[in-house]
Structure 1
Amino acid sequence: MEINPSTLIATIINFVILFAVLKYFFFAKVEAIINERENLINEKLDFADEEAEKARMIAIENERMLKNAREEGKLITERHKQKAEKVYEEIVNDANQEAKTIIERAKVEINREKEKVEDQLKREAIDLAIELSKKVIEKNIDEEKNREIIGEFITKVGNS
């Protein structure tokens, strides 16, 4: 294959002319478009970085707010727990006081009943003594026999 010098020179001259025309008319426009695209991409990257930073700050703020909410929730729970314990203690104290009052009333009532029973026994003893005296008088028993009967009666009443 043989290279023709005139064709080679013509091709180089055509290439240089084509390059000069393209450079003069198109390279500036293409370079401007490329620069414009590069600037747009850089702006979008900067905006994305700013948005990522904002998102990170929002996430940090949300985490702080969540932590505060948890702490506040714990405090509220603790306050309610303390109130519940206080109410529980009041209820227990009231119940104990009520139980003491009921016990005291029962003791008073028992003492009253005991006194009633003692009074009734005394009346019965008196009635029996009167009845015994009537029998002693009616039977006209001697004095020693009377003492014996009264002694037995007192022993019986004393044991009851």
Structure 2
Amino acid sequence: MEQGSHLLFWKAVNTVILIAILYYLLKKPISRFISDGINSVVSRFEKIKQEKEEALNLLKEAERKSQEAKEEAEKIIKYSQELAEKEKQQIIAEAKIAAERVIKMADEEIEKEIYKAKEELKKFAAKKAVELAEEKLKVAIDVESNKKLIESSLQKL
């Protein structure tokens, strides 16, 4: 057993020496590798954090611009409504003036037609009165009445 423990001792010494050599040779590269990995993770984290902040700033800017656009749209709509109302009132006023002109012209035309109708009615009435008088005179004055009228006119002279 002594040989087995001696062999075990040398294996243990060899293993310790190998670990010491590996530690001595690989300490800096492994340390650098781990440090670079940590730095890389930290750098990526910082970059992601910065990108997140930029994205949040862009989002805030977009929200602000969106709000400004909404306010501008509301102003435009309000102005358009006011302008439309003014135009509506102007059109109504112009239509009233035009309607009053048309009514006035129609009244004047009606007055002219009434005057013409009255004049025609007077002429017609006068003509009919003359015709009726002529007919009555024709009936009333016959040949005998005519002689008597002439004789009485002559006697008066």
| TM-score, with structure 2 as normaliser | 0.78
Distance in 2 between residues matched to 1:139 and 1:129, nearest whole Å: 15
Report 1:1-160 matches (<5 A).
4-140=4-140
Greater C-alpha radius of gyration? 2
TM-fit CA distance, 1:69: 0.8
CA shift digits 1:41-82 (9 cap, x unpaired): 111110011001100110111111112112211221221122
Pair 73,2 (structure 1): closer, same or farther in 2 beyond 3 Å: farther
* Percentage of pairs with the same residue: 29
3-state SS of paired residue (1:4): helix
Where in structure 1 are there 5+ consecutive unaligned residues? 142-160
Alignment size in residue pairs: 141
TM-fit CA distance, 1:4: 2.7
Distance in 2 between residues matched to 1:37 and 1:128, nearest whole Å: 131
Where in structure 2 are there 5+ consecutive unaligned residues? 142-157
| TM-score, with structure 1 as normaliser | 0.77
Higher RCO, Cα 8 Å, sep 6+:
1
2:56 maps to a residue whose letter is R
1:86 maps to a residue whose letter is K
Which residue number in structure 1 is paired with residue 151 of structure 2? none
Of residues 90-99 and 27-36 in structure 1, the stretch that sits farther from structure 2 once superposed is 90-99
2:4 maps to a residue whose letter is N
CA RMSD of aligned residues (A): 2.2
Of residues 92-101 and 48-57 in structure 1, the stretch that sits farther from structure 2 once superposed is 92-101
